[in-house]
Structure formats: structure tokens, C-alpha cells
Amino acid sequence: MVVVNTTNPGEPHTRLLDALATTDSSTRLRAALSAGTLGDPALAQALLARCAVEPDFFVRDMLTWALCRLPPEITVPRLLEELSSATAQARSQALHTLSKIGDRTAWPSVSALLHDAHDEVALSAWRAAVVLVPSGAESELAANLAKALGRGDHDMQRSLSRALAALGSDASPTLDAAGASRDLRVRAHAAATERLVDDPESGFTLSVEVAKRVVVTGTGM
């Protein structure tokens, strides 16, 4: 059983925490919903601990919602501590939750994980960074994100492109520079991202294929 960091959580809390740890995902989902409805700060540490190990996406999302229902002065310091966890899921889920809370004091810690070795953590950091970037730092963020161009599989590259596209014109100079890279994969990814910036409704798969033809043949036809 997950233990709450409080002297006397009471029987209702004990039952809720037992439910969070059960093998049935529907029960865990209802428990996370109940925790969010209660909004008791005494549950914060237990919710964070569950985020690190919860296998079900929908339960994790409900855990994030429950944490967002608590006062930021309670959750944000604990979430920042989670960013240094050795568990990738703990880092990833903490990043996701910080982006939902929207507290920009988390920005330095979030930006430090943009190139995390674990793909899911890096993905979460990209998404959180776009939300939390301080005004005036968008171009710097774009340049930092562009260092990951060409990284990962199709889905990961699409996520990075969407993060860069969300920065709009602030990403354009960086993408122009990446278009001259010696790395064909980086050039193709940069071209696909530029297409996404120009037309957010365009399909990323098609963009990548067109970009590759441009790089190889010099024409988009």
C-alpha cells in the first residue's frame, strides 16, 4: 500500500490508497477521481508516487488532474523533485503535470530535460517547454529544440515538429539553419517542420517524404 505523508490520514484515505494500488485499472481510475474530488493536500505524495508506476494512460491522466486540483505551493516543489528521479516515468509524468499547472517557475528545471536520454521524458519536456517558456525566450527554446531534429521514430519527430511549429516565426531562423545541415535526416526533418509551420493542417508523414525528395533530388515533385 502507498503510504500518505500525514500523521492520521483516516480510514477513507486508507481505502482510497488501497484502491490506487489495486490490479483493476477501473478501480484505480475511480480512486484517482475521488482523490481529485477530495482535493486533500495530504494525498499529494501518494498521488505522485502512483504517477511513477501507474501503467494505464487514463489513470495517469486522472492522477495529473487530481494533482492539479491541489494548491501549487504543495504540488510544484514535489513535482520538481520528481524531475530528478531515476525513474523515467516519474520524470515524464511530472513534466506533463507541470505543463498542466502552468507555473513558469518550473521553466529552468523543465528546459534541463529537453535532451533527456529517455524518449518519453524528452517528448514530455518538449511539450511542457512550449507551454512554460518565458516571454522573450521563444527563439532560444527553438534553437535548443532544433538540436533534437532527426531524433527518434516518426511519432517522436512529429512531436518535435509540433513543438517547434507552436513557436511560430520564432522557430523559422533555427529551421532555416538546420536546412543546411550535413545530416540528411536533420535536413529532411527541418524541411518537414517548416512545412508544418506554414500549414499546420498538413500531414507530417507527407511532409517528411516530400522533404526527403527535396534533399535527394532537389525537387518536391
At 14 the pLDDT is 86
> 57-68 vs 25-38: helix axis angle to the nearest 10?
10
**Furthest-apart CA pair in the chain: how many Å?**
70
**Per-residue pLDDT at 199:** 75
Determine phi and psi for 148, rounding to 5 degrees: -95, 5
Mean of per-residue pLDDT scores for the chain: 88
Predicted confidence at residue 7, as pLDDT, reads 43
Contact 187, 178 (CB under 8 A): yes
The terminus-to-terminus CA distance of the chain in angstroms comes to 60
Q: Is the pLDDT of residue 5 over 50?
A: no
For the ranges 59-63, 79-83, 115-119, 195-199, which has the lowest average pLDDT? 195-199
Distance CA 74, CA 72 (A): 5
pLDDT in tens, 7-51: 444 556 888 999 999 999 999 999 999 999 999 999 999 999 999
pLDDT for residue 200: 72
Would you say 51 and 97 are in contact if contact means Cβ atoms under 8 Å apart? Answer: yes
Phi and psi at 152, nearest 5°, equal 80, -170
Q: Report the percentage of the chain scoring pLDDT > 70.
A: 85
AA identity, residue 50: R
CB atoms within 10 A of CB 34: 17
Q: What's this model's pTM, rounded to 2 decimal places? A: 0.85
CB-based contact 47:59 (threshold 8 Å): no
- Cα distance between residue 62 and residue 30, in whole Å: 9
pLDDT tens, 136-177?
Answer: 999 999 999 999 999 999 899 999 999 999 998 899 999 999
